[in-house]
Amino acid sequence: MKTQIVIIGAGPSGLLLGQLLHKQGIANIILERVTPDYVLGRIRAGVLEQGFADLMRKAGVGERMDREGEVHGGFEIACNGQRSRIDLKQLTGGNTVIIYGQTEVTRDLMDARTKSSQTSIYEAKNVQPHDLMDDHPYVTYEKDGKTHRIDCDYIAGCDGFHGISRKSIPSECLTEYERVYPGGWLGLLSDTPPVNHELVYICHDRGFALCSMRSKTRSRYYIQVGSSDKVEQWSDEDFWTELKKRLPKELAEKLVTSPSIEKSIAPMRSFVVEPMQYGKLFLLGDAAHIVPPTGAKGLNTAASDVYTLSTILEKVYGQGRTDLIAKYSEICLRRVWDGERFSWWMSNLLHKFADTSQFEQKIYESELNFILKTESGKKALAEQYVGLPYDTIE
């Protein structure tokens, strides 16, 4: 087989990139090691920045998002029972976020992919990129007991932190930056009405919590747990009891509980690899960077990678601008580090970490007080939360 772009990974980043390239007339093939149902079974966040929503519309897959997604003009921070609202719309001159689950984003992109003429190959085993520094790279994979080869111009690695793409780059060519946090988020999904019409981030002496939602009838809640905690240790009743202890009294009293649909623990890690490209291979999303979930920058930062690569490739094939290829990593990393800094900052403000010194804790408490008590502090938080603009690529 032969194509212009091979995309490794059929998560939202790979699917969105494939759809945008298809709209530009750039042929692409997606390889995914698991089944579509497995991909759709991954429960992830659902706060979409304006830039991400605009990319969905540009890709022609924004109709259901616009119809069913909930536009939020603000969110709350509750600190030891005291609630403060961050008015995103007012503080940023009209910007908002959309609450629309990542599973639904993936489903919409999968449906669009099925309707397109582009090829997706699921359950592709032993995917391996080759000749990345040459003019003619290729990718091999195994399917139905046979080895297949795809010749291409470029390869997009959208296969996550544990995928093959980053591992295909010689280690001496990469620099890794990492911070592993002492704890994680235990998340519970339930068919219950959200306790509040907007997200509530909770800073409490017992630990962080978050009240989120997927729709008007489906809620997603999180509580901070220790590094050694296992999902099996937490019954639904234990989760609801602990959540109520961290909620402001008026929210705890109206919290609706029910058996969980899903429970899982998300570890907290900050990770960046530089550069984000090696020859004809580009890294996108979790393959190159991971943020703690505080602030919802994971999927949104991946979307900025997708925007950058799709825009560069459009100019490469449409205008012959091959000079832009070497600029991909530099452009992406500016926004990646913005997202990393914001997620690290927000995590430290709202969590109680075991490795935080008493001095550092006092500094974070002082900074949080400044954020919540001043207009300039709230504005700085709001502008970063709704998402910084994408770089212009010339």
Token pair 């990469």 is at which residue? 174
Check if 297 is active-site. yes
User: Both tokens of residue 101?
Assistant: 């689950």
Rounded Cα–Cα distance for residues 219 and 255 (Å): 11
Question: Buried b vs exposed e over 38-64: b needs ≥16 C-beta within 10 Å?
Answer: ebeeebbbbbbbbbbbebbeebebbee
Q: Which of 141, 278, 317, 385 is catalytic?
A: 385
Calculate ∠ Cα 332-34-141, nearest 5°.
80
Q: Which of 201, 278, 307, 364 is catalytic?
A: 201
Nearest to 27 by CA among 154, 157, 159: 154
What's the maximum distance between 2 C-alpha atoms anywhere in the chain? 64
Check if 100 is active-site. no
Q: How far is CA 108 from the centre of its chain?
A: 17
Check if 293 is active-site. yes
Q: 3-state class of 70 per DSSP?
A: strand
Check if 201 is active-site. yes
In the sheet that 47-48 helps form, which strands lie side by side, from edge to edge? Answer: 47-48, 97-99, 70-72
Check if 378 is active-site. no
Q: Which of 12, 22, 72, 307 is catalytic?
A: 72
Pairing of strands 175-190, 262-274: antiparallel
Do residues 243 and 219 touch, judged by C-beta distance below 8 A?
no
Q: Is the Cα dihedral 178, 312, 98, 12 positive or negative?
A: negative
Do residues 165 and 8 touch, judged by C-beta distance below 8 A?
yes
CA dist 181 → 33, 220, 228, 234 (Å): 29, 22, 12, 21
Do residues 18 and 113 touch, judged by C-beta distance below 8 A?
yes
Q: Which of 293, 317, 351, 378 is catalytic?
A: 293
Within 8 A by CB and 6+ apart from 72, the residues are 47, 88, 96, 97, 98, 99, 198, 199
Strand positions, DSSP E, the chain: 5-8, 28-31, 47-48, 70-72, 74-79, 82-87, 97-99, 119-121, 125-130, 138-143, 146-151, 154-157, 175-190, 200-203, 209-213, 219-225, 262-274, 277-278, 281-283, 289-290
CA dist 64 → 53, 109, 110, 191, 373 (Å): 11, 11, 13, 20, 38
**Which residues carry out catalysis?**
72, 201, 293, 297, 385
